[in-house]
Structure 1
Amino acid sequence: MAQGARRTIGQVGAVVVLAVAVTAFLSVAAARHGFFDLRVYYGALNWWVHDGGEIYDFLKPNTQYGFTYPPFAALVMLPMAYLPWEAAITVSVAATVVSSAVVIGWLVDPIARRSGWTRWFALAVAFCLAAAFEPMRETVNFGQVNMLLLVLVAVDLLRLLPAGSRWAGAGVGLATAIKLTPGIFIVYLLVTGRWRAAFTAMGAAAGATLLAGALFPDASREFWTEALWNTDRVGELAFISNQSLRGVVARLNPEHPNTVAWLVVVLATLAVWAWRSRAAVAAGDEVTGLALTGAAMCLVSPVTWVHHLVWLLPALILLVDNGMAAPARGGRRRLLLAAALVGYAVLISRIVWAWEEDFTGVSGFLGSNAYVWISLALLLGLPIRRWATPTGRGPADRGGPSGSAGQPGGVAHLPEPDRVAPAVQRHRIGGLVAVR
């Protein structure tokens, strides 16, 4: 049998074994939420469309949870009111799976090609590992919209912006109109000097919001004047699932969270984020800018439930990328791959829930905020990669459609001293293709 055929059979077998292992892990570790958030959306939309109520007056029976997104999100989700419940679940899961495949493909495929790995195998392994990622599985089990928002932002930053498209910023704007927190990416565009894309994003967000206001004036008025400011609708700030800086401060004193302390750490975090984001864009490393902004968003948002941490996925993939590109026998490779492994292991472990009932003391402070520490570490320590040019200029400055031949999506080349030739990688492991 030819070597290529044996390798393909081996890779297929490895993917099957990994998929079975992940399935077994999920059967034990994954919490079952019964599509709780999707039930809230579905109930609110049916209450609004079929029962004549106002969408923001709806509360899921026996809970304090109601529809918390802007009116444009209600417009986007409106078809759900005309679907059977089982069909709504199917659409939600399918949309998350497709969005995840697109984002992971954009992040992993250029790396696999640059490193000489078998592309389908690298993507299959990455997708299996993503399925075990707690924020991803929580997104599916709650019926959340996180990956849809991530793909909208990624379209802008990894596809349209490096190519200089006139539509760059529209995806960020639409994501912001659906849910306010991606608005930090508008600030990212401003901080990094992409004025046209920033104004396009603001225009798209404003246009979508005005459209929803024209179609649903009563719902829009209620959201912007009442529902937006009713923090009881989203849950307790000190709840263990709130893995933001606000959650850290709230767990120190749940009865009286120190707002001033929270604002101070938020301002410090934003200062670090702005500095590192500008450095990433100056180096032409747009994907690291995306990853840093996702981590900052998770930190500074008042509420970052565990499922929101899918925004850390780009940063974890980049840690592996940087580690694999470092010299094979060097300490840098070991450090970066160890950091990626630790971060991933923590974020599949549900470790924070061990302190759900009691997060007091030093162990409670450290353990209950474990995911926050991961976000902070990624914001502070994720390497910024330099383009393989004397000037370090990014793709937009070099005039090409993506800044480098065969490197779409703004994924940067690494400096030549830190890169390992694909042929050398294959030789070192006995002719097999390396996999991350």
Structure 2
Amino acid sequence: MTPTPPDTERADAARVGNEKVDNETVDHETVDNARGDNNRVGIDHRRLLLLLGLATAVTVFTATVPLLRDWFDLRVYYGTIDTWVHHDGRIYDYRVPGTTYGFTYPPFAAVAMLPMALVSLDTAIALCLLLNLAALAAVLYILVGPLLRRYGWYGTAVAVCVLALLEPLRDTISFGQVNLLLLALVLADAWLLSTGRGRWAGVGIGLAAAVKLTPALFIGLLLIARRRRAAGLATAVAATATAAAAWVSPDASRFYWTEALWDTNRIGRLAYVSNQSLQGVLARLTEPAEPSRAAWASVVLVVLCVWAWRTHRAVTAGDWVGAFAVTGLTACLVSPITWVHHLVWLLPSFAVLLRHRRLLWLAGCLYAVLCSSVVWLWFDDASGPGGFLGSNTYVWITLGLLLGLPVGQSAAGRRLLRRRVSATAPAPNPVVPAITPTHVQREGEASFSATGTGSEPAPADGRGVLAEGRGGSSEPTGSTRPAARKPQSSSERASSYTVKPPPA
């Protein structure tokens, strides 16, 4: 037998050894992958259990702790439409049996609700619930879409459970109200403006203003922002809808615009604790006397001046979410009657707070107060200093947000940022061509989300490079030219509360 050369023996041994190592590596990788899959399954199971527990707690809370409204306002709408269509009645003559409350919206709202005449009350309740959920999904997508996508299905589900505890939101759904639908219409225009698709901006605001008068204040926002085309479109849509309603029901339109609009007694008692407007504050102070109209007009004028200043500051910086948030706050304050469920207009303000990490604690505290139904502790008696402070808690929150919500950026802040960039940016290398970031925000656009908006110019990292999330390289070299600064783009009571909320 011919002996095997030593080199061949060593090669065979090395090959066998490598095969063993490869097999062991594959086995280890298989085990690690299996362990990773098991860990992910365990994490998903834990998340699912936590989510089920949270959903159960929210369901128990909403079903037992607050007073359920039993679709009271939806029953007003349905009864009005049924009487008008099937019994030849008049829109503003209908009253809910056993109460003095009837339809309080402009005539176009009744025209828009005519499809209810084709279905039963139970079907109308189911459709109303689905529409409110769809509107809430649209509002969340517009305000915090990127943030929810970052945390996936689990974060979205938790956010929905958390929002279900918010008193204005749960009241809107429990009453069968239209607030979420109007908010979604208005924010749709904000989304169009912030993404450079402003051709149809104004349609949503116009429709919302035709259903309720309070959203008409957003036309003022468009004028302050010098979006004259959008403002004109919103005005034209509102006027056309109102004219169409007058053609359908001239008698109802004549009565509403000449009588019903000016009669606040049809809507509810001004001093009722649910009225969280400036007019409500004055009414509770002077009860049982009527509040001074001159005093109310003076306070409203001051608030409108603050609104115009803060809105101009926001739109100048391209901060559309901030501008719409400030306008929603102002609408709640200056409306003669702002029931608690109208405060869903505060949701854009929470989106503004969420984009500032240092203010997350404040957002949490305000959210907890708005979940607490604290104002109802003074349902029977709002007298004295304690009653003055406690019964108007939601007004103080709204007013504080109007004055302190971080919208836009001051000119001083922009000058400071410019000095920091110019002082720390390295000189470009004349030999090597400059590298231009590929992901650059288009001029005139502003991101409309809680995770990054046009309200704040992209911060510099001290080396002339845009921070993460704003485009540009995160690892500059000496040959990278500093990124140039990017120019930024430039109620009436609609519900029917009774003096005592309807029983569950």
Name 1:320's counterpart in structure 2: 354
Residue 13 (structure 1) shift: 3.5
- Deviation track 1:258-300 (CA, whole Å, cap 9, x = no partner) reads 2222111111111111111111111111011111111111111
SS in 1 for 2:113: helix
Say whether 1:44 aligns with 2:86. Answer: no
- Deviation track 1:7-45 (CA, whole Å, cap 9, x = no partner) reads 544443333232222222213322111111111111111
- Equivalent residues of 1:64, 1:232 under 8 A apart: no
Q: 1:168 to 1:161 in 2, by over 3 A?
A: farther
Name 1:369's counterpart in structure 2: 392
Percent of residue pairs identical = 48
In the alignment, which of 265, 272, 281 is matched to residue 306 of structure 2?
272
Aligned ranges 1:370-409 → 2 under 5 Å: 370-385=393-408, 399=442, 402-403=445-446
Name 1:58's counterpart in structure 2: 94
SS in 2 for 1:166: helix
- Equivalent residues of 1:162, 1:409 under 8 A apart: no
Aligned ranges 1:227-246 → 2 under 5 Å: 227-246=260-279
Residue 421 (structure 1) shift: 6.2
Name 2:219's counterpart in structure 1: 186
Name 1:300's counterpart in structure 2: 334
Say whether 1:224 aligns with 2:239. Answer: no
In the alignment, which of 21, 32, 36 is matched to residue 57 of structure 2?
21
Residue 240 (structure 1) shift: 0.3
Name 1:70's counterpart in structure 2: 106
SS in 1 for 2:291: coil
Q: Flag structure 2 segments of 5+ consecutive residues without an equivalent.
A: 1-34, 419-439, 470-504
- Deviation track 1:178-230 (CA, whole Å, cap 9, x = no partner) reads 11111010111112221111011000000111111112212211211222122
- Equivalent residues of 1:153, 1:175 under 8 A apart: yes
Name 1:412's counterpart in structure 2: 454
Q: 1:56 to 1:226 in 2, by over 3 A?
A: same
SS in 1 for 2:345: helix
Larger Rg: 2
Q: 1:417 to 1:361 in 2, by over 3 A?
A: farther
- Equivalent residues of 2:116, 2:124 under 8 A apart: yes
Moved more, 408-417 or 144-153: 408-417
Say whether 1:207 aligns with 2:207. Answer: no
Moved more, 41-50 or 153-162: 153-162
Say whether 1:284 aligns with 2:307. Answer: no
Q: 1:417 to 1:322 in 2, by over 3 A?
A: farther
The one-letter amino acid paired with 2:328 is G
Name 1:92's counterpart in structure 2: 128
- Deviation track 1:367-407 (CA, whole Å, cap 9, x = no partner) reads 0000001101111111125599988xxxxx97458446x97
Moved more, 296-305 or 159-168: 159-168
Q: Which has the higher helix share?
A: 1
Residue 111 (structure 1) shift: 3.3
The one-letter amino acid paired with 2:259 is E
Name 1:124's counterpart in structure 2: 157
Write out the 4+ residue segments of structure 1 that deviate beyond 6 Å after TM superposition. 387-391, 406-410, 417-422
Q: 1:162 to 1:118 in 2, by over 3 A?
A: same
Say whether 1:351 aligns with 2:374. Answer: yes
Q: TM-score, normalised by structure 2?
A: 0.75
In the alignment, which of 137, 145, 151 is matched to residue 184 of structure 2?
151
- Equivalent residues of 1:106, 1:409 under 8 A apart: no
CA distance in 2, matches of 1:71, 1:413: 38
CA distance in 2, matches of 1:20, 1:371: 27
The one-letter amino acid paired with 2:377 is A
Q: TM-score, normalised by structure 1?
A: 0.86
- Equivalent residues of 1:284, 1:386 under 8 A apart: no
CA RMSD of aligned residues (A): 2.7
CA distance in 1, matches of 2:242, 2:103: 16
SS in 1 for 2:189: helix
CA distance in 1, matches of 2:401, 2:294: 25
Say whether 1:32 aligns with 2:68. Answer: yes
SS in 2 for 1:118: helix
The one-letter amino acid paired with 1:285 is D
- Equivalent residues of 2:194, 2:445 under 8 A apart: no
SS in 2 for 1:163: coil
In the alignment, which of 167, 173, 187 is matched to residue 134 of structure 1?
167
- Equivalent residues of 1:354, 1:368 under 8 A apart: yes
- Equivalent residues of 1:109, 1:123 under 8 A apart: no
Q: Flag structure 1 segments of 5+ consecutive residues without an equivalent.
A: 324-332, 392-396, 423-436
- Equivalent residues of 2:351, 2:450 under 8 A apart: no
Moved more, 12-21 or 360-369: 12-21
CA distance in 2, matches of 1:322, 1:217: 50
Name 2:435's counterpart in structure 1: none
- Deviation track 1:399-423 (CA, whole Å, cap 9, x = no partner) reads 458446x97999437543799969x
Say whether 1:310 aligns with 2:344. Answer: yes
SS in 1 for 2:101: coil
- Equivalent residues of 1:402, 1:410 under 8 A apart: no
